[in-house]
Amino acid sequence: MTKKVSVIIPAYNKAALTVKTVESVLGQTYENIEIIVVDDGSTDDTAQRMASFGDKIQYIRKENGGACSARNRGIRSAQGDYLAFLDCDDMYLPEKIEKAVEYLETNTNFGFVHTPVYMATGGAKRVLRRYPLVKTCPSGWIWRKLLLKDFSVINSTVVVRRSCVKECGFFDEAIFTPADWDMWLRLAERYEAGYMNEPLTVYDKVSGGYIPRHLEQSEREGLRVLEKAFQRNCRLSRRFKNQCVSNLYLRHAYSYSKINNTDVAREKAFLSIQKNMFNLKAFVLIAAATLLGKNMHHAWKRFRPF
C-alpha cells in the first residue's frame, strides 16, 4: 500500500486562489493524498468555496492566529506518513507528490526533500522564471549552510516525514516571517535534507509580498531564529555566529536596496561589517549606496547575497 501524504493548506482571505491550490492537489498523479485546508478565520467566502469540494478535502475553521498556528492545527489532524505544506496562493504541478514520495522512499536517510519553484503572477497566469536560478542546492547535512546563508528552502516545496516533525516540534507560533527557516533548521540539525533539481511548485510572486512590507519585523524575528539556533548549538564558535548575523543584516540591506531605501540599506550594511569585517559584499553595497543612491539596486544585483 502506498504511503499517505497529508497536504496542509493554511488559508486566509484568498478564496479564489485557494480553490486553484486545492484543485492542483486533487490533480496529482499520486492517489493516496489527504488534503487539509485550515481556514485561519477568513472573512471572505473561503468557507463556501471549500464546501464545494465536499468530502474530497478536510476543512477546518479556526480563529485567526497566523499561518503557523494554521499549519500546526493541520499537523495535529494529519494522518499521513508524510506532510506537505502548501500556501493557499501556490500550486503543485501534477507529479509533485509522486516524485517527492519516490525520492524519500528511495533515500531513506533523508528527513525531508525540497525543490526550486516557478515564480508566477497572480493565479499562475504568467510564469516569470525559475527560482532559485542555481542548478544545484546543498543536500545532506545542510544545517550549518542553512544557518549561515538561509538559502532557499521554499515552504511550499517541502515534503517531510511526519515522524521527523513529531521529533523536532511544530512551527513556532511566536515567529511569523522566518518561521519556515526556523523549522527547516530544527529538522536539518537532526536529519539530512534532500533536493530535487526540478521545479514542481508554482509560487505566486504577486501574493507573496509580505516580507518586503515588514522588513523590520523580518529582521527582528530572523535574529530570534539565530538566537534559538545558537542556544541549541552552544559549541558553535563566536566567529561563525558573527558570520551568521552579518549575513542576516546583509540580506536585509539588500532588501532595503530593492525598495530604494538607500539610507537604511547602508545602515544595515554597516551592521553587517561590525559583525564580520571581511564581509566584502557589505562594502560593495555601501559603495553602491554612496555613489549611486537610488540607482544602487541595479548595480548591486550581481553581488546579492542569495
Read off the pTM: 0.90
Task: Tell me the pLDDT of the chain averaged across its residues.
Answer: 90
pLDDT in the model for residue 295: 58
List, for residues 238-250, the tens digit of each pLDDT value: 999 999 999 999 9
Grouping H, G, I as helix, E, B as strand and the rest as coil, residue 192 is strand
How far apart CA 51 and CA 46 sit, in angstroms, is 9
Residue % of the chain over a pLDDT of 90: 75
pLDDT in the model for residue 50: 98
pLDDT in the model for residue 210: 53
How far apart CA 52 and CA 34 sit, in angstroms, is 17
- Cα-based torsion angle of the residue sequence 124, 128, 130, 133 in order, rounded to the nearest 10 degrees: -160
CB 207 within 8 A of CB 14: yes
Rounded mean pLDDT, 49-55: 98
pLDDT in the model for residue 123: 59
pLDDT in the model for residue 305: 47
Rounded mean pLDDT, 140-165: 92
- What confidence tier does 258 reach under pLDDT thresholds 50, 70, 90? confident
φ and ψ at residue 192, rounded to 5 degrees: -70, 150
Rounded mean pLDDT, 281-299: 71
Looking at this protein, which amino acid is placed at residue 284? V
Among 262, 245, 244, which Cα is nearest to 253's? 262
- In order of 6, 30, 67, 127, the CA distances from 85 in angstroms are 9, 16, 11, 21
The beta strands (E) that lie in 178-232 are given as 192-195, 201-204
Q: Answer whether residue 296 shows pLDDT above 60.
A: no
Q: Select the more confidently predicted residue: 254 or 211.
A: 254
CB 250 within 8 A of CB 272: yes
CB 245 within 8 A of CB 226: yes
Rg (CA), the chain: 20
Q: Select the more confidently predicted residue: 284 or 266.
A: 266
Q: What CATH homologous superfamily does 5-210 map to?
A: Spore Coat Polysaccharide Biosynthesis Protein SpsA; Chain A (3.90.550.10)
pLDDT in the model for residue 138: 79
List, for residues 111-124, the tens digit of each pLDDT value: 999 999 999 876 55
Rounded mean pLDDT, 83-109: 97
Who's near 166: CB < 8 A, 6+ residues apart? none
Q: Hey, what's the cell of 260? A: 530604494
Question: How do the domains of the chain map onto residue ranges?
Answer: 5-210, 237-303
